Each structure stands twice: as C-alpha cells, then as structure tokens.
Structure 1
Amino acid sequence: MSDAHNERHGYAVRYLADLVGGDIVGNDDVHVTGINRIEFAGPGDCTFLSNPSYAKFLSVTQAGVIIVSRALLTNELPSGRTYIITDDAYRGFVLVMQKFFPPLRMEAGLRHTSATIHPSAVVDSTASIGPGCVISEGCVVGPRAQLFANVVLYPGCHVGSDTVIHANVTLGAGTHVGQRCLIHPGAVLGADGFGFFENPDGSFEKIPQVGTVEIGDDVEIGANVAIDRAAVGTTRIGNGVKLDNLVHIAHNVDVGDNTAMAAQTGISGSARIGKRNRFGGQVGMVGHVATADDVIVEAQSGVSKAITAAGAYLGSPAKEHRTALRLEAALRQIPRLLQDVRDLQRQIDEMNKTSS
C-alpha cells in the first residue's frame, strides 16, 4: 500500500479504506484533509460512528468520509455520503488519526550543543538528545530513543530503545526505563520515597531511600507523575502499564502488567497491584496491601485492605460493586426512616398521655 499522500496534503479514501481494512460505500474518489468528531466534521474531514447513540448525526453531519462499525448496519445508511465499513470503526479512526498526526520526533542522532553528556555515558548513535539535557555518568541511552529539552538523567540510568521522554522529565539515580515507553513532560521517576521515623521529641529523621525504579516495556507515563525510588530493592512498573497525569506511586510499590490508573490516583508504599487492574480517578490505596488480577476500582474509592478476587469495587472503604450500590441505596432511605421513627415516637407519647 503506497502512501501517495501525507498528513499535510491529506489522503484518498481508497488509501484510508485499505489502511483500516474496510469497504467503501459511496464515492471512492473523495479526498480527506482532516479529522473531526461527527458533530463538527466538515466536507474534507473523516469521522467515525461506533456508538449507536451517535447515529442521529448521520443524517446531518457534513463529514466527507464516515467510518462505520459493521455491527451498526441495521438500518439503511443515508445516501449522498461516503462510508468506510469496518469491523471496529473506533480502532479504524485511531489508525487514521495516527496518519494525520504522527508522533513528534527529533532528527535521528541529534546531539544539541547545549546538552551535557558525561564521557562515560553510552548513547546510541541513533538516539536524539535535545537542548539542555543532562546525561550523567554511567547512563545508557538505547537505539532511537528521544530525549526532549531539559531531560535529566542522574547517574546510572538506562533508557531503552525507541523510548520517548518529553521535556523536563527527571530520572533519579539508577532508574531503568524499558523499550518503547512514552513519558510526558514533568514526570519524576526515582525521587526519594516518603520515609521517616519519629523521634521521641516528635521530630522526624529521614530514612535513606537507596533502592531504584524499574519501568517495563510499552509503558506510558502522564505529565507530572511521581514514581518514588524504593527504600531498598525496587519500585516496579510492569509492561504495558498506562499512568494518567498526576498519579503518585510510592516507594516499593509493584504495579502488574497492563494495569491502567486515571489521574490523581495515589498508591502508598509497598502495595502490590495485580495484572490488568483498572483504577479510576482519585483512587487511594493504603500501603502493604495487594489486589488480585483483573480488578476494577472505581473513581474516588479507597482501598484499605487486600482485594483477593477479580471484579469491580466501589466506595471508601472499597466494597464489591453491587454491595456498595445496595449500601448507598439503603443510606438514602435513612432520612425517611428517621422521620418514621419520630412519627412513631410521637404516637407512642400521645398514647401514653391518653392512658395516663
């Protein structure tokens, strides 16, 4: 499949249909110059329909091309439009997005003149080092890695091949990042964990944090995420993990493969997260407890003890989803029940007065 066009000039619908593995219905000479949501798309745009609740826009959208999931073809499509019919319209649209908006990359092998690279560091010839970067002694930067402006690697860090680290990220000493990772601006990996003991007079004394951080392959870490180094040993983030902005992972935590955590989640020290867990926004988890594989913890829930079975959990403290909903329903009845009790008490008081 030749890429006769590019993101600047757009793509023929036939090219996009081949890209997503779909069939064209309508005019196969349409040229696509952009992408947009179905409500806002214009004549040169490609959009998609994978959710039946958006089918109402089919008759009014101005989109030049609409990618439609095959499962939604229960009704006749409005005429006069061009469609790409595929098994998964959303996945197809993502492929089109990637064509129009390829990842930002620096020139292969770039060494900006303002970067500082220690003589003992090993930086692959195809890696790109942006302005203001600091690569300390003993660091290793793998093939095709990209370090954007002001990335700082403390001594002994390893960055795997094809990993992209955006501006103002700091890796503390000894931090290891795997292959094909994406780290967004402002993240700090390998700062000291929050470790102190209290003296008899109430003051605090710092506990040295001498462990490391290990990031697996294919991990994405959002902006301003903090992953603390272990007190001793390793804070580990498994392969395929996705961390949203402002997530905090404390010292000695172990996050299982393919787990995802939404923004402002906080995991306390030495917690163990199973594989394929899903944590909603602002979930909190106490230290030294664990979750099983395939656990979902819904937004703003608090995990205060181990979760030993797969499933969805809600509330603070987190409870099995259905149990939490029943408790919530019961709580909503308390005002009425209290009023009923007061009414009964008044009736009893009146009966007592009458009998006396």
Structure 2
Amino acid sequence: MTTQQLAEITSGRLIGDPSLEITGINRIEHARPNEITFLSNEQYIKFLPLTKAGCVIISEHLVASAPTIDIPIIVAPDAYRAFVLVMQRFFPPMTMPPGVRSATATIDPSATIAATASIGPGCAIGANCVIADGVQLTANVVLYPNVTVGQATVVHANVTCTHGTQIGERCIIHPGVVIGADGFGFFENPDGSFEKIPQVGNVVIGNNVEIGANTTIDRAAVGVTRIGDGVKLDNLIHIAHGVEIGDNTAIAAQAGISGSARLGKRNRIAGQVGIVGHISTADDVIVEAQSGLSKTVTAPGAYFGSPAKEHRTALRMEAALRRLPDLMKEFRDLQRIVADLNNEH
C-alpha cells in the first residue's frame, strides 16, 4: 500500500513521496523502513528524529513542535485514530468461509441457521436456536436451546450460552465466555443451610457488544440481565443476575457488578471495581480503579475510593490521611507541652 493510499484511508494530508510502498505497522521506536507508525503524544516526539519508519502519521497539534524529518508524513487531526484505520486495513478480522458446517458439529434439527452462517468443529447447537446471516461460531461453542445470535456476530472458541440467551448483531464474544449461567441466588434456612432460588430469566445482549475472554454474565432470577448496545467488556468480568448496563458503557478487567445493579449510559468502570447490588449510576459516570461503589450515584463525574466518593473529595481525604502521622506527632507534642505547663502550676 502506498503512502498516497494511506493518506486517503486516513483522510490525512501527505507531505513527501506519494509512491513509497508500506507493508506493515509498528511502534515509533521499533518501526522499520517498510512500516508506518504514528505520533499523537508529545512525550514521544523524542523518538521522531531517531525513527527508521518509512512514514509517520502525526497529529495536527504536534506538527509545529515536531522536528523536521526526511521521510513522508501524514498529518491527521488525531494520529492515533488514523493509525487505527491503517491497522484495520493491514489486519482485517479473521473470518470463516461463509456457510461452513463442520462435520463434528452437533446441530439440533429444529435449529434455524442462515445459509451464510458458519459452524466450526465441536459446536453444539440446541433445539430452536436461531443463527442469523454471517454469524461465525468458531469451535466448541455450546448453545443451549432457544438461543438467538444476531447477524454478523462472531462467537469464539469454548463459549457457552445457556437457554434463552439473546445476542444482537455484530457482536464479538471472546473465548471462554459464559452467558446465562444461574445467578448466585440462595436463601438461608433456619438451620444455616441454603435453598437454591430458581433462576428462570435470561440474558439479552444488544448490538455491537464486545465481551472479553472468560467473562461471565449470569441469567436473571426473574426477567432479564441486559447488556446495552455498544457495551465493551474486558476479560475476567463478572456480571451478576438482573444487572442492566447502559449503552456504550465500558468495563475493565476484574470488575464485579452485583445483582440488580443498574449502570447508566457511557459509564467507564476501571479495573477491579466492585459495585454492590440494587444500586444505580447516572449516565457518564467514571469509577476509578479498585474503587468500591456502595451507593447510588445520581450525578455524572469521576468517583474514586472504597467506598467511592466524588474524585476531588476522595483526593482531599487521601491527602489528609497522608498528613495524619505528622498531625498526630504535633498533637502528642502539644499534649506534652500542656502537661509540662500544668506541672509548673
């Protein structure tokens, strides 16, 4: 692909040779003459005179401060976003041939499978499942009865969807995900033993959702566990029964969302956050890493700590805690001074 073609893909402004062939991508400090890289952070300007890349995409706001280099550059409003467009061209998603039916797949006769859907080896598709056009079930995917999978969704190896799960269009489900297992529902008997509460709801996943490896989403006890359109879930997340996650929310690894919590739209939940059950968050809430959210959040903004507090409040409290040893020393010194004064009288 030539630098001119790359400029057209990124809607950028090319400065330099339009005919140079680029065959790969790399980081600015490791790129080779046949590769393209990018500069979107001023901290990396120091690498620009040293890079061996064949072409560099540079963010518009950095061009004035960037040193002159003797290789083609593409000026774009956001170099990182432009670089992602280039990545997508060089590395399109791996796809299965349309309409594949592996001989080792087990498909219930009552399942409805579109002609262009692909079913890989070891897959098991239960009764009354509906698989739409362009769906790819890669290998060892297990669909219990009455599961629906929307158009162009890709389900990777060893994913299990239990009965009644509904998955929307253009989703990506990564290996090891379990959707629709029983929620953690028990009540305690007088003797301290537990009685299982039937989990008879299901999980409904919207369109354009991506779910990371080994994440688990439990079915509702009654009703629906709902994942909104455009939601992005990292690896190793647990979403309990009856949770609702608003559109375009993103959740990082090892977060845990307890039962019947309701997250608003465009929330950003960082790694290892814990959210208790039966609370809700407003739209546009950010919960920072390792925080514990124990109460309903009614206002947009950033929250931090355990229990989580408004970001600035939490930082002031942390600053005060750091001063506590010195304050205690001052207090003890004052106690001694007062004691000495009392002894003199």
Under TM normalisation by the shorter chain, which class is it?
over 0.9
Distance 1:147 1:92 in 2: 31
Q: Could you say if the C-alpha distance between residues 307 and 82 of structure 1 is closer, same or farther in structure 2, counting changes exceeding 3 Å?
A: same
Give the alignment of 1:248-263 within 5 angstroms.
248-263=238-253
Instruction: Name the residue aligned to 1:180.
Output: 170
Instruction: Name the residue aligned to 1:345.
Output: 335
Distance 2:274 2:263 in 1: 12
Distance 1:76 1:152 in 2: 53
Instruction: Name the residue aligned to 1:225.
Output: 215
Give the alignment of 1:61-210 within 5 angstroms.
61-75=51-65, 77-210=67-200
Measured against aligned partners, the alpha-carbon deviations of 1:200-256 in whole angstroms (never above 9, x if no partner) come to: 110111000000000000000000000000001000000000000011110000000
2:17 aligned residue (21, 27, 33) = 27
Deviation of the 1:57 alpha carbon: 1.0
Secondary structure of residue in 2 paired with 1:149: coil
Paired amino acid for 2:181: A
Instruction: Name the residue aligned to 1:213.
Output: 203
Gaps of 5+ in 2: none
Aligned alpha-carbon RMSD (Å): 0.9
Distance 1:205 1:76 in 2: 67
Deviation of the 1:349 alpha carbon: 2.2
1:291 aligned residue (281, 289, 297) = 281
Paired amino acid for 2:52: Q
Distance 2:337 2:6 in 1: 76
CA contact (8 A) 2:48 2:69 kept: no
Secondary structure of residue in 2 paired with 1:98: helix
Paired amino acid for 2:120: G
Distance 2:311 2:49 in 1: 39
Secondary structure of residue in 1 paired with 2:109: coil
Secondary structure of residue in 2 paired with 1:75: coil
Secondary structure of residue in 2 paired with 1:205: strand
Instruction: Name the residue aligned to 2:29.
Output: 39
Give the length in aligned residue pairs. 345
Deviation of the 1:23 alpha carbon: 1.8
Secondary structure of residue in 1 paired with 2:180: strand
Instruction: Name the residue aligned to 1:312.
Output: 302
Distance 2:307 2:342 in 1: 44
Distance 2:318 2:54 in 1: 47
Distance 2:5 2:150 in 1: 34
Distance 1:322 1:87 in 2: 32
Instruction: Name the residue aligned to 1:5.
Output: none
Paired amino acid for 2:51: T
Identity of aligned residues (%): 63
Runs of 4+ aligned structure 1 residues displaced above 4 Å come to none
Gaps of 5+ in 1: 1-10
Identify which range, 23-32 or 70-79, moves more after superposition. 70-79
Instruction: Name the residue aligned to 1:7.
Output: none
Distance 2:19 2:269 in 1: 45
CA contact (8 A) 2:286 2:303 kept: yes
Deviation of the 1:77 alpha carbon: 4.3
Distance 1:283 1:76 in 2: 39
Secondary structure of residue in 1 paired with 2:50: coil
Secondary structure of residue in 2 paired with 1:236: strand
CA contact (8 A) 2:45 2:66 kept: no
